[in-house]
Structure 1
């Protein structure tokens, strides 16, 4: 069975912002549960993942993968090659499906394929397109609040100005490529609900689409 699984390393999410001081315009929306924004990141060039035979569903919930550069292999979680665990698994495109959990470290996009032998999720001879939300087995966890990465921006994350009214995530401890300028302290339904100390409104999407950010 040949299943294509391309890896997306944790990278900064580009967000639209409305600045209370500079008057920048919001550039983009998002979909989520109010704690962050879900984004389908640009994948590296994909290569077929090696068939492993573990589990009924390729990279199902609680199964593990190895790390790779352009492809990932499903391995037993007790294996010394195991590097990350699936915390959620959905069919379809990440931009159209349910958001990953807030502290997801990275997302694997699985391309649709038709295996050469009869072993697949539902016995119809194909592996559907989907995506797996991954959590690394060992720290550091870029998806944690302030970690500087992950597919979502959540309360506790830090951002820096990237120009053209945009901000990107960076590590709050200053160990990233860019120094943090603002920290998201709350997610609310309306800008008026942010604290008076708020100087930047970060567009998160969801039912609480406004991220209240203060200087760091």
Structure 2
């Protein structure tokens, strides 16, 4: 009789323990609430912008795909990467600081409002990025025949009305577009150019804005 009573007491105690564990589990589930698909579990990842947008769209050191219309930022090790940003300025290029001398081309970034941007305010301000191609040729190099600026080592030809146009020093500009002068020095004033100078070229920017060009 005593053995049966002890067994009954043990069974009731075990049942109460099982019910208690089940109840605790139910309460925990209710407190947590239902799980939602795609919900961010770690708050440290909330608000992270998609790849390709940093503090500044096309910031210095970042890369763009080929083309100068509607530029796209891509990883620099991507097969689509064509050029790297060497300088980045806000506003219009005509009113801002000049690009570095060996810049290959300039990307003009129009003000727009993409779905995601650098600071989350829904806008990318107007600006410009000075670009250097990841692979040659580099038209911005001295004598390369291109780039947004004329620098020492570049060649030019006269196009009339006192204007000149940069052209490749190796004559690769095509028929009738061969070089006629080469910029050999940059000075602060025309009077500082050496005697053999045959043409004065406006280089713009810096403390030596005048280019002394000799005939070829």
Tell whether the structures are fold-level matches, with TM greater than 0.5. Answer: yes
Contact 1:159 1:167 in 2 (8 A): yes
Secondary structure at 2:132 match in 1: strand
Deviation of residue 68 (structure 1)?
2.8
- For residues 126-171 of structure 1, give each alpha carbon's deviation from its aligned partner in whole angstroms, at most 9, with x where no partner exists: 1100101000000110000000000001000000010111100000
2:119 to 122, 125, 132: 122
Partner of 1:59: 58
Gaps of 5+ in 1: 1-50
Q: What is the deviation of 1:52?
A: 7.0
8 Å contact 1:159–1:170 — kept in the other structure?
yes
Structure having greater relative contact order (Cα 8 Å, sep ≥ 6) = 1
Given the superposition, is the C-alpha separation of residues 156 and 134 from structure 1 closer, same or farther in structure 2, using an over 3 Å criterion? same
**Larger Rg over CA atoms:** 2
Task: State yes or no: 1:100 paired with 2:95.
Answer: no
Partner of 2:212 in structure 1? Answer: 212
Matched length? 164
Which structure has greater helix proportion? 2
TM-score by length of 2: 0.72
Q: Distance in 2 between matches of 1:214 and 1:89?
A: 33
Deviation at 1:72, TM superposition (A): 2.8
Provide the alpha-carbon RMSD of the alignment. 1.7
Q: Which runs of 5+ in 2 are unaligned?
A: 1-48
Counterpart position of 2:77 = 78
Cα distance change on mapping 1:74 and 1:65 into 2, 3 Å:
same
> After the TM superposition, which of the residue ranges 173-182 and 200-209 deviates more from structure 2?
200-209
- 8 Å contact from structure 2 (residues 200, 212) kept in 1: yes
